[in-house]
Structure 1
Amino acid sequence: MFFRFLLISLALSASAHAATVGTLTLPADDDGGAVTLFYPTAAAGGRPETRGDLQLMLAPDAPPAPGNGRLIAISHGSGGGPWVHTTLAKALVEAGFTVVLPLHRGDNWTDPGRPGPDSWKQRPAEISHAIDRVVADPRFAGLKLDRVGGFGMSAGGHTMLSLAGGAWSPERFRAHCEKDLAEDFYSCIGLATRLTGGALDGLKLWVARHVLDWKFRDATPQVHNDPRIAAVVAGVPAAADFDLATLAKPRVPLGLITADGDRWLLPRFHSDRVLAACQGCELIAALPGAGHGALLAPPPAASNLGRLECELLCDPRGFDRPAATTVWVQACVAFFRRHLLQAKM
């Protein structure tokens, strides 16, 4: 109890003395969606902004300061976007990092039409392209981009496993769903429908298997290597379609965050398998009682979610969100300081 109180007190103290966070958005181009940046700035003031339940002082389009000189790229989950990762971005900026968040095409809050393997194929390249856009922007010339960090949750966690050297294929996704469809239903088919225990469940499973068999027969290993990526954190990742041998020894330090109450990506099929296979992975935070949406910070308002979506994303009864958020956010900051700043630690 004392340890939790100390963590919260330290976080509140840091926030009270936090510098203004600069933010800007680069428009979409031919190779990727819009890119949002959060960064240190020497500009005074800022203006109050509300993001969910979070009140922030942001300085839109303020001149960037280099901070500690390092960049972190964040990959949002399916149907997500930059603002549900503002708490983490703010903490990273206060630690001196610049943060870049690309909007993944076909799988974001304004354009949700191509989630799953279709999106997973392009996401790592979109992270690389977002880094390229920072490289090309003279306002960020002070950054050293030879060692970039990465964070992602859910589908974004899948992105991070790819960037850590993992190989997956649509066929592996299909094979997992063929075997474990009823148990890992939402991982395989998303929010299209639910199993209720009723007479229609058999038909739903039959249709789902036929659609999966039709769409996901490509066994080509999907890989992406960006040598600038030097350390990644995968939070509650989609992982059942990875060749776990390729994650036994990740090419970069790999941190994991798990939630034992996750009903969307059941840990025994996803994060637990990675932890069991990976030699040297760091379990930087295990969140007891947490659901799949625990790493959305600030979380979307329940009134903006459908009933099934809220069942899978809203916090389970009794979950201490403020305390858990302090734990995992500070764990991420410490992980990136440890693996990216090196001599500065």
Structure 2
Amino acid sequence: MNTAALIAAASVLLGACAATAAPAPIVQSQAAPLIRDGVAVSRLTIPDSQQPAIEVGVWTPAQAAATPRALVIISHGNGGDYRSHHDTAAALARAGFVVAALTHTGDNWRDQSRATDLVGRTRQLSVLIDFMTQDWDGHAGIDASRIGAFGFSAGGFTVLAAAGGDPDLNRLADHCRANPGFYDCRLIGQHAGTMKDGAAAPRLPHDARLKALAVAAPALGFTFTKDGLSKVTQPVQLWQAGADQILPTPFYVEPVRDALPVPPEYRRVEGAAHFDFLPPCSPELAAAAPMICTPTPGFDRAAFHETLNREVVAFFKAQL
């Protein structure tokens, strides 16, 4: 994840406004679904009221089920898109889940114009759930009482907030006074609105339909207090990279772990760096985005993803 947007993201809660656009029609499939290894993958574009249309990827088991399936939605980190966790999505679909991942409007690799829009991020998750359970052409095959979410980095923050979390942005000032050399705090200085009084910030949208959360390296974890996470009572699987150079210990994962009212399934991955939560890169992506693709010395990202995906699947099977 690009930490610039992590910290700048707080400013949206202090009044940042989103651009508007005419609503777009639903495009159920812009190409025939690609079927590979028992998984069908489709790219869709869905309307978001007066906001720009949202790009969505949907992974489903290739064979129809006799009974409705659970749904898992995925929120990527800053600068990603719906494909950022394609291997986890495919693993979940092979295990029988319907998976929908969105490209966050204005916070993706093509467009960073709304990278500070945390309110928009959380709201978009609800728009996606609405679409998948009401308007998607396969919505009859979804059990709307069994919905989970996976989020990484800024997506981890998004999922926690959508599930009921209320961050205390007043903590940003103390955090950066104590850690002025942190990369995120240096970036805060570039965004004038970020350090303003967070008391006037609107509460992030919540969605009670989320029943289980898998959260990896959540951004702005230090803004969550016990009171702020008191409503996040869903089962949580919480992942930490032991050598996270973007969101270093003990300021991001540990505050979330310790503030959750129900102890999470906590997984600390020794030797892993922040971007090891992203799947191994293709040669083309590695050439274009070395920051997220450069191998972590002594760490096998591919082997780790076999474990990550297996445990995420097991978690959602148990909880949904």
- TM-score, reference length from structure 2: 0.78
Please name the residue that 1:69 is paired with: 69
Answering whether residue 223 of structure 2 is matched by residue 241 of structure 1, we say yes
Distance of 1:261 and 1:73 partners within structure 2: 27
Q: Secondary structure at the match of 1:303?
A: helix
Q: Is the 8 A contact 2:92 2:99 kept in 1?
A: yes
Q: Is the 8 A contact 2:87 2:279 kept in 1?
A: yes
Cα deviation, residue 243, structure 1: 2.8
Please name the residue that 1:271 is paired with: 253
Please name the residue that 2:42 is paired with: 23
Distance of 2:66 and 2:41 partners within structure 1: 12
Please name the residue that 1:94 is paired with: 94
Percent identity for Structure 1 against Structure 2: 30
Distance of 1:246 and 1:170 partners within structure 2: 11
Please name the residue that 2:144 is paired with: 145
For residues 248-281 of structure 1, the C-alpha deviation after alignment (integer angstroms, 9 at most, x for no partner) is 5622111101101111111311001222233433
Distance of 1:265 and 1:215 partners within structure 2: 19
Cα deviation, residue 314, structure 1: 3.2
Cα deviation, residue 213, structure 1: 5.6
Q: Is the 8 A contact 1:284 1:332 kept in 2?
A: no
Q: Is the 8 A contact 1:39 1:97 kept in 2?
A: yes
State the aligned residue count: 278
Please name the residue that 1:251 is paired with: 233
CA gap 1:188/1:121 in 2 versus in 1, 3 angstroms: farther
Cα deviation, residue 125, structure 1: 0.9
Which structure shows the higher helix fraction?
1
Within a 5 Å distance, the mapping from 1:169-188 to structure 2 comes to 169-182=168-181, 184-185=182-183, 187-188=184-185
CA gap 1:267/1:315 in 2 versus in 1, 3 angstroms: farther
User: Is 28-37 or 251-260 further displaced after alignment?
Assistant: 28-37
For residues 290-317 of structure 1, the C-alpha deviation after alignment (integer angstroms, 9 at most, x for no partner) is 01111111436332126xx35xx63320
What is the aligned-residue RMSD (CA, Å)?
A: 2.5
Q: Which runs of 5+ in 1 are unaligned?
A: 1-16, 43-63, 191-207, 341-345
Answering whether residue 14 of structure 2 is matched by residue 33 of structure 1, we say no
Distance of 2:138 and 2:257 partners within structure 1: 39
Whichever of the two has the greater Rg, that structure is 1
Q: Which runs of 5+ in 2 are unaligned?
A: 1-35
Counterpart of 1:19 in structure 2: which amino acid? Answer: G
Please name the residue that 1:334 is paired with: 314
Distance of 1:249 and 1:127 partners within structure 2: 18
Distance of 1:216 and 1:324 partners within structure 2: 40
Within a 5 Å distance, the mapping from 1:39-58 to structure 2 comes to 39-42=60-63
Distance of 2:196 and 2:98 partners within structure 1: 37
